[in-house]
Amino acid sequence: MGKWETVRLGDVCDVRDGTHDSPKYVNSGYPLITSKNVTKGYLDFSNVNLISFQDYKEINKRSKVDVGDIIMPMIGTIGQPIIIKMIEQPFAIKNVALVKFNNNKVYNVFVKDILKSVIFNKYIDQLSRGGTQKFIALKDIRSFSFPLPPLPIQQKIADILDQASALIEKRKKQIAKLDLLVKSQFIEMFGDPVMNSKDMPIMPLGELCSIYRGGSPRPIDQYLGGTIPWIKIGDATGGDNIYLHSTKDFIIENGIKKSRFVKAGSLIFANCGVSLGFARIITFNGCIHDGWLSFEDIDEQLNKEFLLMSLNHCTAYFRDTAPDGTQPNLNTGIMKSFQQILPPLALQNRFADFVKQVDKSKSEMQQGLEKLELLYKSLMQKCFRGELF
C-alpha cells in the first residue's frame, strides 16, 4: 500500500460557519442553532432562539445546511461533529462549523470520524483560545491536516469504527437501564419519599444522624499536593454510582483543620449548585469541601444505602426548598428538619442488598465499557495510520 496523501480539510471540503451577528429574536420564526444546541450527537431544539425569515434567508446565503453536511460547535465543547441525516424543520446556524461535500473523493462519515479522533482533539487543544469558554477559528478548522485514503478504504474505515461505536452506545444504554432499575425498585418498595405515599413512619433527619458541612481551605492552591484525599463535586458526577472510590486531588495535613475530615463509609450529600441533591458513600478517609454535607452517626433504624437512595429521590424537593439566590444552597438546618421516612429495617436491608448486586453488575459493565472505548481509540489510530489496510 502506498503512503496516503496528507490533505487539509479546507482543500477537500467546503468549510464554512454561520452568522457572527446577533439577529433580532422573534416569537415565531426559524430556529437559530448555536454551539449549545449541538450536544451528545444530536441537535437539541428544546432551547433555541427564533429568528425572522429575512435573517434566516441572509444567513443561508453563506451557510445553508443540507442533508449529508457535518456541523460542529466552534465554541465550548468543540469536537462533537454531527452528520445531518434529515431536516425536519429548516434552521440557520451561528458559531457552528459547517462542512459540505462537493466532490466524490471524500466520504462524510470518514470525515466525521476524523473530527472525533484523538488527532483532531489534540489539534483543538493546541489552537483553541479563550478562558472558560474555549473557541477555535474557522481558518484553523480549515487548516487541519489528515491522511486521506482512497474512497473505498474511507468507507471501510468508517464501517469498522461505526460498528465499534455502536457497541459502546449499546453498553452505555445497558448501564443506564440498571440505574433506572434501581430507581423503579425504590418507588415500588417505598413509594414517593417526599409525599410519603405508603404512609411510612417519619422522623426529622437531624434526629437520625449528625449532619456537618464541609469546609474549603483557602487559597486551596496552598494546600494541594499532600496525601489526604480532597473530595470535590467533580469526583462524584460521573454516572449514578452510589459509591465514591477515589479523588483526583489531595491536600496536605494542615488542610484538615480548615475542612471536614470524613471516614470511609460516610455518606456525603451535595448541598448546592447544579449538583444539589445527589449523594455518595465514600470508601476511603478524606476531606470534603463546602459543597458537601456529611451524614454521620447514622441511627440503627436507617440503612445507609437506603438513606442515600431516599435522598436522591428527593432532589426536586430539595431544589425547591433551597433559599433563593444565584445558586440553590441547602444549609444543615434545612436538612436536619427534613422528614425522613422509616420503613421496616428488614425492607431497607433487602433493598440495599438489591442495590449492591446491581452495583456489582454495573461495575462489571463499566469495566467492559472502558475496554471497548480503549479498543475504539486503538482502532481509530490504526485505521488512520493505514495499519489495517
Is 168 inside a domain boundary?
Answer: yes
Q: What is the mean pLDDT of residues 201-218?
A: 93
Q: Are residues 139 and 272 in the same domain?
A: no
Q: Are residues 226 and 155 in the same domain?
A: no
Q: Are residues 163 and 275 in the same domain?
A: no
Q: Are residues 24 and 144 in the same domain?
A: yes
Band (381; pLDDT cuts 50, 70, 90): confident
- CB of 272 closer than 8 Å to CB of 237: no
Residue 224 pairs with which residues in a beta bridge? 251
Q: Are residues 352 and 384 in the same domain?
A: yes
Is 191 inside a domain boundary?
Answer: no
Amino acid at 371: K
Q: Are residues 308 and 246 in the same domain?
A: yes
Note the Cα 115 to chain centre separation in Å: 19
Helix (H, G, I), strand (E, B) or coil at 27: coil
Is 366 inside a domain boundary?
Answer: yes
- CB of 369 closer than 8 Å to CB of 168: yes
Write out the three cell numbers for 110.
470518514
Q: Are residues 86 and 56 in the same domain?
A: yes
Is 24 inside a domain boundary?
Answer: yes
Q: Are residues 132 and 161 in the same domain?
A: no
Band (240; pLDDT cuts 50, 70, 90): low
Q: What are phi and psi of 220, to 5 degrees?
A: -60, -30
The pLDDT, as a whole number, for residue 11 is 93
239, pLDDT greater than 80:
no
Question: How do residues 43-81 score in pLDDT, each as one tens digit?
Answer: 888 888 899 999 999 999 889 999 999 999 988 878 789
Q: List Cβ neighbours of 143 (8 Å cut-off, separation of 6 or more).
A: 8, 9, 10
Average pLDDT value for the chain: 88
Beta strand pairing status for 42-43 and 145-148?
Answer: unpaired
Beta strand pairing status for 292-296 and 210-213?
Answer: antiparallel
Band (83; pLDDT cuts 50, 70, 90): very high
Alpha helices in the chain (DSSP H): 9-12, 53-63, 108-116, 118-127, 138-142, 151-190, 304-312, 315-321, 332-337, 345-385
* CA pair distance 97, 94, nearest whole angstrom: 8
Residue the block writes with cell 413512619: 201
Is 131 inside a domain boundary?
Answer: yes
* CA pair distance 151, 4, nearest whole angstrom: 11
The half-sphere exposure of 241 on its side-chain side, counting CA atoms within 13 A, is 19
Q: Are residues 206 and 330 in the same domain?
A: yes
Name the domain count of the chain: 3
389, pLDDT greater than 90:
no
Of the chain, the percentage scoring pLDDT greater than 70 comes to 95
For the chain, the residue count is 389
- Range from 11-20, 32-41, 201-210, 213-222 carrying the lowest mean pLDDT: 32-41
Write out the three cell numbers for 165.
461505536
Q: Are residues 103 and 113 in the same domain?
A: yes
The pLDDT, as a whole number, for residue 64 is 92
Write out the three cell numbers for 109.
462519515
- CB of 72 closer than 8 Å to CB of 133: no
Question: How do residues 89-113 score in pLDDT, each as one tens digit?
Answer: 899 999 899 999 988 889 999 999 9
Integer angstrom CA distances of residue 60 from 50, 63, 92: 15, 5, 7
Is 186 inside a domain boundary?
Answer: no
307, pLDDT greater than 90:
yes
Q: Are residues 155 and 289 in the same domain?
A: no
Band (1; pLDDT cuts 50, 70, 90): very low
Band (327; pLDDT cuts 50, 70, 90): low
Give me the domain span that covers residue 240. 201-342
Q: What are phi and psi of 5, to 5 degrees?
A: -70, 135
Q: What are phi and psi of 31, to 5 degrees?
A: -65, 140
* CA pair distance 329, 137, nearest whole angstrom: 38
Is 184 inside a domain boundary?
Answer: no
The pLDDT, as a whole number, for residue 238 is 60
The pLDDT, as a whole number, for residue 132 is 67
CATH of the domain at 212: 3.90.220.20
Is 190 inside a domain boundary?
Answer: no
Q: Are residues 59 and 129 in the same domain?
A: yes
